[in-house]
Amino acid sequence: MAWHEKILRVDLSKGTCQAEPLNMEWAEQYIGQRGLATKYLSEEMDPKADPLSPGNVLIFATGPLTGTSAATGGRYSVITKGALTKVIACSNSGGYWGGELRLAGWDMILVTGKAEKPVYLNIVDDKAELLDAEGFIWGESVWQTEAKIKERHQDSRIRVASIGRAGEKLARYACIINDLDRAAGRSGVGAVMGSKNLKAIAVRGNLGVQVKDPDAFHAAVTAARAKLDPSADRAGLAEQGTISMLDITQAFGSLPTRNNRDVQFEGSDKIGAAAMVAKRRSDGQPNLINNKACFSCTIGCGRVSKIDPDHFSVAGKERYKTAGGGLEYESVYALGPMVGVDDIDAATFANFICNEEGMDPISFGATLAAAMELYEMGAITDADTDGLKLEFGSAEALVKCAELAGLGEGFGADLGLGSKLLCEKYGHPDLAMVAKGQEFPGYDGRSMQGMALAYATSNRGACHLKADPYGDDFDGGPIEGKAEIVYSSQNAVAAVDSSGLCLFPMAVWDLGDVASQLDSACGGGWTAERLAETGERIWNLERRFNLDTGLTGKDDTLPKRILKEAAKSGSGKGKVAELAQMLPAYYEIRGWDDEGVPTTQTLRRLSML
Amino acid sequence: MAWHEKILRVDLSKGTCQAEPLNMEWAEQYIGQRGLATKYLSEEMDPKADPLSPGNVLIFATGPLTGTSAATGGRYSVITKGALTKVIACSNSGGYWGGELRLAGWDMILVTGKAEKPVYLNIVDDKAELLDAEGFIWGESVWQTEAKIKERHQDSRIRVASIGRAGEKLARYACIINDLDRAAGRSGVGAVMGSKNLKAIAVRGNLGVQVKDPDAFHAAVTAARAKLDPSADRAGLAEQGTISMLDITQAFGSLPTRNNRDVQFEGSDKIGAAAMVAKRRSDGQPNLINNKACFSCTIGCGRVSKIDPDHFSVAGKERYKTAGGGLEYESVYALGPMVGVDDIDAATFANFICNEEGMDPISFGATLAAAMELYEMGAITDADTDGLKLEFGSAEALVKCAELAGLGEGFGADLGLGSKLLCEKYGHPDLAMVAKGQEFPGYDGRSMQGMALAYATSNRGACHLKADPYGDDFDGGPIEGKAEIVYSSQNAVAAVDSSGLCLFPMAVWDLGDVASQLDSACGGGWTAERLAETGERIWNLERRFNLDTGLTGKDDTLPKRILKEAAKSGSGKGKVAELAQMLPAYYEIRGWDDEGVPTTQTLRRLSML
């Protein structure tokens, strides 16, 4: 129970949709969502396949708690080989689409091959069909796509996950957007979808989700909510969203600024949580209109924002007169300090374009930051940019580049390469602020050593959501302790990412709270210990997939800027990331050999051999 | 103009109230409020007089912008020789009392001598009289005092500044409270008032304030508001109050915890801005009910809070069923991390008692923290505390001690001594976290070196409001630059503190914005440069008063814990305050000799000789 034990296999090359039973042996070992889908991916595809070829497999996977009343039980993940990174991609999204898929009776959608012509997948409960997208929604933005699907099928309750024009044009960091502004955001999963000529997946569900022991489940959910709902962490996320982190990283000196040349941004107070509620002059309205929540979520960290209609002039701004998904910490870091821009309207506008055209704002902003540094040094010239001045701090450049990258036009095609390929193309590969080809989130690894290790070892490339080193980093915890903190939090996160729940309640919950909800919903004896071990198994499964792509321990590294150039200010002033000191300890605690390969003993211990 | 050019002289020994003209020559040199009152104090009293003797002078002083429409123009200061510190005291308060005094036509009230029996001063416009307090409000709390005065005089619009029972009992950190929860908070100005048998000053004003050039003033006020009102700083203070600083000092590692033994507090998320809006379990209400603003203020940083009526059991809690002034950063630091308590209801309750009985929560909390450390080491025993367990982290001890200190009963009389005398009494003077006898605010000087210098050199003892080193400290600015930052911000703050305006707009304004409002209101050619020089003059006047009390450069120091014991965690881990390096540079930039005495040359430059 809780699992429907039913997956939808879509073969785009053949144009077929078929139901098949979920492999429950694998579900016992990998739960669902991130873990289970990675198992399917490993078994279904050649890890060496080009991510943009028909040989890649694209999986939309829920967890057994997705679509239930468990607080934050609305998550799904997209698992594939990443277009940006060429290693495992697992992009987790909220909103309502995942819950709807479960209400329609499906645990997972497994997409193989490539459609001859653009299509979209339409699911109503147990009925699934591929429909023509050409002449209908192909070439449209995410927002237009959702509106058109709802109109054609005459049902406003349909939930849509789709790619925008960035995904169609194979921008390496194109994402998949559901519910207009919730994203399976990172690693280029939207480009994979685009390469398969799959524009959208529309879902309507009326069937519900069965849990094994309804009384016990209700009690477990109620107990977990009683911890979460009155907590300060929940309240802070509801009131301010994640953007409140900006004041902290600014004060601490871990706010990546101007392609990580600086670690504090002089304009941070113009774009943070307080600025979002400051009255705007031209129409008297604040940037922040409201907060909003995902399926079954009692937090509501999402922002609803408006831009100042008269604040700056860009093409197409009339499209943004209504409210949309607002800035969060990662988007504001990348569309603000990282490109040196202190204009909250420009950053919000760029974020809207990222939502509308389906781009990851982190990778877009960081790629633009790299381009700005290349422009400043003369490696990129006006001839490359059609005369656009790519200067740090230019709100005009930010907005124009977001439009170009979203459409894949002009210099936007270069930007769509991502930092790594862009910096290689223009002759300065060291300037790409990436790990395993994926751009950094909003934390500088020189004042946050645990985060540096988390970036270098993350299976999907630099990530702020695959480990939890924050507290110890802000406490100034010793280098010696970082490996253990990164190791154990990576495991815990992998388990939660496989359950259908969001990570944010984990500020208050422990794995026992997840286990009590999972066990009452699914049965089978889930405990905190088993979840931690399962998380470790998932981590090693991802690592093996990556090693099978050709990755080696040498890829567990960081850019020279973070390893060799000392931070200029803040609490990390004069310091670099001490990766050489932390990585061997991390390999050891993981039970990996000196090359970063899991030992036979480790795989046996985790029942993977 | 703007000045009424009229002060009220109250001789308590003689029982007389007399109007006299303001010394306008001094006003040109020292503006008003803090600066001008310090000039009066210097001329009127023997600096060596015991602060609790009739020879001390107690001045309630407004600035020329108090009571005008200038944003935040509602401030007044209490200037006297501090009961806690035995040096200059200048305690600045908001609320509505200062504006009302100006509307009644007075710039300043100068109180000398001591009343034979308890009295209160009643002012209605130009009429001022001393009335009997005994058998009426003497022995009553601040809150009861205000209610009784309004009832007797049958006017709900009366504004009252008074002392509570802590002030009557001469608690060294007793404060003066106006408008129920706004405080002239620090240095024991309430004990001075108590020593004079003056319980309260009630004011009603109907006369208004005249400005010199109404059109120019309106334009200057409008321009200054246009900067302030849409700013992120204003929005942040309105939304969260000052308490949002807690997340920053916690992450940065500058949050004094358990008498500064630690610099980060494991329970900080239970008592910060987010916790204030988190729903409470027993009645479903949050701690934070609303925000509120002072006279003419467009910020509204004040908090209105309620405690959970069923959360913990203490005597007298039924008194707190209605909302009152809530936790701000300084009160939450002192009533939370400093005493190791993570209970927001207990901290709010203790803060209510501080308001009701007229105690400075910073000094009360820090004194209790010192007592807890003395108790832990056995220097204070159950025999001293009547069996009360003074353990770090005990919400019960916090609440009980607040009640005892507020009433001056039992061990509360010891707590009323303040940290310095308490630690001396119990044989461990080093454990008092003070500078010049005044307890630290919520910043540890080991990770914030500029703040360490600001504490050591503040004329009124350790203070967070007499200099502005925050930004540079959080940026990790070099030791070499601290003297200049502390010097110039001390001067700027002294000028603003003398104008009638609040410091908080200075996050957005510069001295030019103050000058344009001051000059259009008063005339006389006020500019940013003149304000900076005037601020420097005020600083030196305060310094000379202090030197005349017997203070020397040796008093510009910090406790051994801050100078010798390295911080345990956070960004200052392993560091101590480098005062020996900063202080000579500070003396030099101030134009003081090696002993910290202003040179003749410096005093001549400032037209003080």
Chosen from A447, A571, A573 to mutate, greatest number of chain B CBs within 10 A:
A571
Please report residues of B whose CB lies closer than 8 A to that of A270.
232
Which A-chain residues 490-509 have CB contacts (< 8 A) with chain B? 507
pLDDT of residue A284: 80
Check CB contact of B475 with chain A, cutoff 8 Å.
Answer: yes
Contacts of B286 in chain A (CB under 8 A): 235
- Distance (Å, rounded) from C-alpha B597 to C-alpha A76? 69
3-state DSSP assignment of residue B447: coil
Percent of chain A with pLDDT over 70: 99
pLDDT of res. B161: 98
| Among A329, A307, A336, residue whose Cα is nearest residue A320 | A307
- CATH number for A257-432 (one of 1.10.569.10, 1.20.1260.10, 3.40.50.1110, 3.40.50.2300): it is 1.10.569.10
CA distances (Å), B354 to each of B142, B163, B287, B364, B387, in order? Answer: 10, 11, 17, 8, 23
What is the tens place of the pLDDT at every residue in A132-163?
999 999 999 999 999 999 999 999 999 999 99
Q: Are A500 and A94 in contact (CB under 8 A)?
A: no
Average pLDDT over residues A285-294: 93
B51 touches chain A (CB under 8 A): no
Q: What is the pLDDT of residues A169-181, one digit of tens each?
A: 999 999 999 999 9
Confidence of residue A267 (pLDDT cuts 50, 70, 90): very high
pLDDT for B312: 63
Report the phi/psi class of residue A368: left, alpha or beta, with left for phi > 0 and alpha for psi in -120 to 50.
alpha
Instruction: Give CA–CA dist A57/A37, Å, rounded.
Output: 10
Candidates A342, A475, A573: best to mutate against B (most CBs of B within 10 A) is A475
Q: Element (H or E) spanning A100, and its range?
A: helix A97-103
Contact A435, A458 (CB under 8 A): yes
- Give the bridge partners for A288, in sequence order: A305
Which positions ≥6 away from A409 have C-beta within 8 Å? none
Indicate the residue of B248, B264, B281 with minimum beta-carbon distance to A248. Answer: B248
Residue A475: is its pLDDT beyond 90?
yes
CA A561 to chain centre: 24
Which backbone phi and psi does A161 adopt, to 5 degrees? -115, 130
User: Residue A166 corresponds to which amino acid?
Assistant: A
Give the residue on A whose Cα is nearest the Cα of B241: A274
Q: B284 touching A, CB under 8 A?
A: no
Which phi and psi angles does A93 have, rounded to 5°?
-130, 155
**Chain B CB contacts of A476 below 8 Å:** 253, 569-573
Distance from CA of A475 to the nearest CA of B (A): 4
* Distance between first and last Cα of chain B: 27
Residue whose C-alpha is closest to residue A267's, from A325, A346, A355, A326: A346
pLDDT the model gives residue B320: 78
User: At residue B599, what is the residue type?
Assistant: T
Chain B residue nearest residue A241, CA to CA: B274
Among the partner-chain residues A231, A272, A573, the one whose CB lies closest to the CB of B476 is A573
Contacts of B271 in chain A (CB under 8 A): 232
Among B236, B391, B126, which residue's Cα sits nearest to residue A288?
B236
CA dist., res. B355 & res. B145, Å (int)? 12
pLDDT at B281: 64
Residue B235, chain A, CB below 8 Å: the answer is yes
Confidence band, pLDDT 50/70/90 cuts, at residue A545? very high
- Number of Cβ within 10 Å of residue B391's Cβ equals 13
Kindly provide the b/e burial profile for residues A287-310, where b requires at least 16 CB atoms within 10 angstroms of the residue's own CB. bbbebbbbbbbebbbbbebbbbee
Its pTM stands at 0.92
Would you place residue B310 in the very low, low, confident or very high pLDDT band (cuts 50, 70, 90)?
confident
Please tell me which residue of chain B has the smallest CA distance to A264: B475
Measure the CA–CA gap between B464 and B606, rounded to whole angstroms: 26
Q: What is the pLDDT of residue B290?
A: 94
Q: Parallel, antiparallel, or unpaired: how do β-strands B108-112 and B6-11 relate?
A: parallel
| Minimal-distance CA residue of chain A relative to B239 | A274
A479-486 long-range contacts, CB within 8 A, separation 24+: A479/A449, A479/A578, A479/A581, A479/A582, A480/A585, A482/A449, A482/A450, A482/A453, A482/A582, A482/A585, A482/A586, A483/A453, A483/A582, A483/A585, A483/A586, A483/A588, A483/A589, A484/A589, A485/A450, A486/A450, A486/A453, A486/A454, A486/A457, A486/A586
Q: How far apart are CA A90 and CA B26, in angstroms?
A: 71
CB pairs under 8 A between A and B: 138
| Domain range annotation of chain B | 6-204, 257-432, 449-605
C-alpha of A297 from chain center = 18
Q: Mean pLDDT of all residues in chain B? A: 96
- Distance between CA A75 and CA B278 in Å, rounded? 24
Residues in chain A: 609
| pLDDT greater than 70 at residue B497 | yes
Contacts of A251 in chain B (CB under 8 A): 248, 251-252, 474
Residue by residue, DSSP assigns B192-221 as: HHHHTTEEEEEEE--S----S-HHHHHHHH
Predicted confidence band of residue B470 (pLDDT cuts 50, 70, 90):
very high
Amino acid in position B45: M
What's the confidence (pLDDT) of residue B452?
Answer: 98
Q: What secondary structure, in 3-state letters, does A328-385 show? A: CHHHHHHHCHHHCCCCHHHHHHHHHHHHHHCECHHHHHHHHHHHHHHHHCCCCCHHHH
| Chain segment B363-390, per-residue pLDDT in tens | 999 999 999 999 999 999 999 999 999 9
Both structure tokens of B301: 């940083």
User: Which residues of A118-208 form beta strands (DSSP E)?
Assistant: 119-124, 127-132, 159-162, 176-178, 182-184, 198-204
Q: Is A229 on the interface with B (CB under 8 A)?
A: yes
Whether the Cβ atoms of residue B120 and residue B137 lie closer than 8 Å to each other = yes
Best CA proximity match to B79, nearest among B7, B140, B28: B7
Comparing CA positions, the residue from A138, A137, A120 lying closest to residue A129 is A120
- Using the predicted structure, report yes or no on whether residue A225 has a pLDDT greater than 80: yes
The reported pLDDT for the residue numbered B105 is 98
Judge: A235–B286 Cβ closer than 8 Å, yes or no.
yes
Residue A235 and residue B274: Cβ atoms within 8 Å? Answer: yes
pLDDT score of A320: 77
Q: State both tokens at B446.
A: 């080991």
Contact list, A253 vs chain B (CB under 8 Å): 474-476, 571
Q: What is the DSSP letter of A286?
A: B
Angle between helix B361-376 and helix B344-357 axes, rounded to 10 deg: 120
Interval A537-541 mean pLDDT: 98
- Chain A residues close to B569, C-beta within 8 Å: 475-477
pLDDT class for A311, splitting at 50, 70, 90? confident
- Residue B173 three-state SS: coil
Task: Identify whether the C-beta of residue A233 lies closer than 8 Å to the C-beta of residue A259.
Answer: no
- Do residue B474 and residue A570 have CB atoms under 8 angstroms apart? yes
CB contact under 8 A, B277 and A235: yes
Q: Share the mean pLDDT of chain A.
A: 96
Structural contact between residues A442 and B535, judged by C-beta atoms closer than 8 angstroms: no
**How far is residue A279's CA from residue A465's CA, in Å, rounded to a whole number?**
32
Contact A232 B447 (CB under 8 A): no
What CA–CA distances, in Å, run from A119 to A14, A141, A198, B176, B185? Answer: 12, 15, 5, 74, 70
Contact A279 B229 (CB under 8 A): yes
Over residues A418-429, the mean pLDDT reads: 98
Percent over 70 (pLDDT), chain B: 99
* B237 pLDDT more than 80: yes
pLDDT score at A312? 63
Q: Tell whether B267 lies on the interface with A, counting CB pairs under 8 A.
A: no
Separation in Å, CA A283 to CA A286, A565, B99, B219 = 9, 45, 32, 21
Residue B315: per-residue pLDDT:
57
Is B281–A230 a contact, with Cβ atoms under 8 angstroms apart?
yes
**Contact call for B447 and A236, based on CB within 8 A:** no
- What chain B residue is nearest to A446 in terms of C-alpha separation? B571
Location of structure tokens 């209700």: A218
B390–A contact, CB cutoff 8 A: no
Determine the pLDDT at residue A283: 77
Report yes or no: B331 and B351 within 8 Å, Cβ to Cβ.
Answer: yes
**Interface pTM (ipTM) of the complex?**
0.86
Confidence of residue B317 (pLDDT cuts 50, 70, 90): low
Contact B411, B388 (CB under 8 A): yes
Residue A461 scores a pLDDT above 90: yes
Residue B288 pairs in a beta bridge with: B305
B268, closest residue in chain A (CA to CA): A232
Is the Cβ pair B248, A244 closer than 8 Å?
Answer: no
Confidence of residue A279 (pLDDT cuts 50, 70, 90): confident
- When pLDDT is cut at 50, 70 and 90, the band that residue A319 belongs to is confident
Q: Do A239 and B270 touch (CB under 8 A)?
A: no
Kindly list the residues from chain A whose CB atom is less than 8 angstroms away from the CB atom of residue B277: 235-236, 238-239
* B374/B420 Cα distance (integer angstroms): 12
**What tokens does A59 get?**
């999986």
Q: Residues of A with CB below 8 A from B240's CB?
A: 239-240, 274
**What Cα–Cα distance (Å) separates residue B52 from each residue in B49, B108, B113, B115, B414?**
8, 21, 11, 13, 17
DSSP strand pairing (B302-305 vs A16-21)? unpaired
Q: Which of B237, B278, B286 sits opposite A231 (nearest CB)?
A: B278
- Considering the four listed CATH numbers 1.10.599.10, 1.10.10.10, 3.60.15.10, 3.90.600.10, the one that applies to the domain covering A449-605 is 1.10.599.10
Chain A residue numbers with beta carbons less than 8 Å from the beta carbon of B235 are: 274-279, 286
CB contact under 8 A, A474 and B253: yes
Helix (H, G, I), strand (E, B) or coil at B582: helix
Residue B388 CB neighbours (<10 A): 17
Average pLDDT over residues A97-123: 98
- Give the closest of B272, B477, B507 to A232, CB-based: B272
Give me the residue from A226, A233, A274 closest to B232, CB to CB. A274
Would an 8 Å CB–CB cutoff place B264 in contact with chain A? yes
Å between B154 CA and nearest CA of chain A = 40
Topology (CATH) of B6-204: Aldehyde Ferredoxin Oxidoreductase;  A, domain 1 (3.60.9)
Minimum Cα–Cα distance from A288: chain B residue? B235
Distances (CA, A) of A410 to A386, A388, A416: 8, 11, 10
Q: What is the reported pLDDT for A315?
A: 58
Instruction: Tell me if chain B has a CB within 8 Å of the CB of A303.
Output: no
% residues pLDDT > 90 (chain B): 95
A226 interfacial to chain B (CB closer than 8 Å): yes
B296: left (phi over 0), alpha (psi -120 to 50) or beta: left
Residue bearing tokens 């100034």: A476
| N-to-C CA span, chain A | 27
**Chain B contact for A257 (CB, 8 A cutoff):** no
CA distance A192 to chain B (A): 39
